[in-house]
């Protein structure tokens, strides 16, 4: 009986959401939307979100550490437990000495990416913003006879506009009456009707957007990780010893292997960037589509999935940085074999003095 009631309730909520709460298909753009320009520099919504993430992390750290006690409790206890667990993981892979060197960067990457991914799942992302057009309405009308985009209704609160939801008379199963496509054969009629009713045709430019759905952010983190890894390798093995891994003229085979090492080192930038960007952008698209098509119940499992994916992607990015760092500071080829041998010969037995 309980199962039947649960299934019945699910179906009722689904039908009500499908009939009354379906919004138009959202505008999805790979490139981050520019909000304004400051001194010739375009400020995008992902830049705004990035600053918000940094501010939230700083505020949280301040609140968690302002009353530091010897016996932790509350937020301090949670923070110390999380940091200690991740630190033990890093030192368990890299060793105590290298782990202490790698932890600041690896930990920063993990927690920054994790918080950014999870924050992008909050309801204010890709929902709050203002209405605009990438191309001016005048140019669109001159070229097509109409402007394309979502038809927004006047909210009665100044410039604030709202997206109309569906209703029993407008299910929009095969077409969307509140969206004018670029190649819409009824575009002129829809646009003229919207103008007569005092509505506005344009795109929603969100104020907040997930930073890792912007290709520039994963690329920037990947470049920082790449520079750190090379710096660790050079500072540990020396410039020429570390460079010998990439440029080695001792034999044609070693030279070819060195070129492959160099290419693989550079390819990491691409793999780091597109792994994080691809997963987060795809997740955002899935949530946007399901939110505007079936905003109730059906979307929740995808939110749960994205919570898991966001954590996994942060963990993978930071762990790959750690593993590549360990590889960079490890001796290669003959050096790796000679080091234990010489240390054994040069060792002084305990008690010899």
pTM for this one? 0.79
Contacts of residue 134, defined as CB under 8 A and 6 or more positions apart, other chains included, come to 203
Element (H, E) at 223: helix 216-237
Most confident range, picked from 21-25, 41-45, 115-119, 143-147: 115-119
* pLDDT attached to residue 281: 93
Average pLDDT over residues 330-344: 46
The answer on pLDDT for 219 being more than 70 is yes
The answer on pLDDT for 230 being more than 90 is yes
More confident residue, 311 or 71: 311
The answer on pLDDT for 151 being more than 50 is yes
The crossing angle, in degrees rounded to 10, of helices 252-293 and 216-237 is 150
Element (H, E) at 60: helix 45-65
- Angstrom CA distances, 110 to 42, 97, 155, 188, 235, stand at 28, 20, 42, 50, 24
Confidence of residue 344 (pLDDT cuts 50, 70, 90): very low
Confidence of residue 181 (pLDDT cuts 50, 70, 90): confident
**Model pLDDT for residues 258-274, shown as the tens digit of each residue:** 899 889 889 999 999 99
- Angstrom CA distances, 304 to 183, 287, 288, 312, stand at 36, 11, 14, 13
Q: Considering the chain, what percentage of its residues have pLDDT values greater than 90?
A: 35
* pLDDT attached to residue 330: 86
Question: C-alpha angle with apex 299: 293 to 305, nearest 5 degrees?
Answer: 140
Q: Is 234 exposed, middle or buried (0-12, 13-18, 19+ CB in 10 A)?
A: middle
- Whole-angstrom Cα distance, residue 33 to residue 159? 20
* pLDDT attached to residue 204: 79
**Model pLDDT for residues 244-259, shown as the tens digit of each residue:** 888 888 888 888 888 9
The answer on pLDDT for 287 being more than 90 is no
Structural contact between residues 321 and 218, judged by C-beta atoms closer than 8 angstroms: no
Confidence of residue 141 (pLDDT cuts 50, 70, 90): confident
The answer on pLDDT for 335 being more than 90 is no
* pLDDT attached to residue 106: 96
Q: Is 4 exposed, middle or buried (0-12, 13-18, 19+ CB in 10 A)?
A: exposed
Average pLDDT over residues 272-292: 87
Confidence of residue 339 (pLDDT cuts 50, 70, 90): very low
Token pair of 186, please? 């009824």
* pLDDT attached to residue 22: 58
CA neighbor of 235 nearest in space, from 325, 104, 339: 325
Q: Where are the domains of the chain?
A: 34-123+210-331, 129-206
Confidence of residue 158 (pLDDT cuts 50, 70, 90): low
| Rg from Cα positions in the chain | 28
- Angstrom CA distances, 12 to 5, 16, 18, 20, 343, stand at 10, 6, 10, 12, 74
- State the chain's mean pLDDT as an integer: 81
């Amino acid at each position: 009986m309980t199962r039947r009631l649960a299934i019945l309730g699910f179906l009722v909520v689904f039908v009500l959401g499908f009939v009354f709460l379906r919004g138009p298909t959202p505008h999805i753009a790979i490139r981050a939307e520019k909000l304004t320009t400051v001194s010739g520099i375009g400020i995008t919504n992902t830049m705004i979100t990035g600053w918000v993430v940094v501010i939230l992390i700083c505020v949280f750290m301040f609140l968690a550490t302002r009353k530091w006690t010897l016996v932790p409790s509350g937020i301090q206890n949670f923070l110390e437990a999380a940091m200690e667990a991740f630190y033990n993981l890093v030192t368990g892979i890299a060793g105590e000495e290298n782990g202490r060197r790698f932890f600041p960067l690896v930990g920063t990457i993990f927690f920054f990416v994790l918080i950014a991914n999870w924050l992008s799942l909050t309801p204010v992302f890709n929902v709050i913003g203002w209405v605009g057009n990438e191309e001016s309405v005048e140019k669109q009308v001159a070229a097509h006879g109409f402007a394309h985009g979502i038809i927004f209704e006047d909210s009665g609160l100044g410039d604030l506009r709202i997206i109309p939801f569906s209703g029993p008379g407008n299910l929009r199963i095969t077409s969307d009456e509140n969206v004018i496509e670029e190649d819409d054969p009824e575009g002129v009629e829809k646009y003229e009707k919207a103008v007569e009713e005092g509505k506005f045709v344009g795109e929603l430019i969100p104020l907040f957007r997930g930073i890792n759905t912007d290709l520039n952010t994963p690329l920037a983190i990947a470049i920082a990780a790449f520079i750190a890894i090379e710096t660790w390798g050079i500072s540990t093995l020396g410039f020429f010893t570390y460079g010998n891994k990439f440029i080695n003229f001792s034999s044609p085979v070693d030279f070819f292997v060195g070129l492959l090492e160099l290419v693989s080192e550079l390819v990491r930038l691409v793999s780091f960037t597109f792994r994080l960007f691809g997963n987060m952008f795809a997740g955002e698209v899935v949530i946007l589509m399901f939110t505007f098509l079936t905003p109730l119940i059906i979307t929740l499992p995808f939110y749960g999935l994205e919570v898991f994916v966001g954590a996994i992607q942060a963990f993978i990015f930071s762990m790959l940085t750690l593993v590549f760092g360990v590889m960079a500071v490890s001796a290669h080829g003959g050096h790796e074999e000679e080091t234990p041998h010489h240390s054994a010969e040069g060792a002084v037995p305990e008690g010899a003095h």
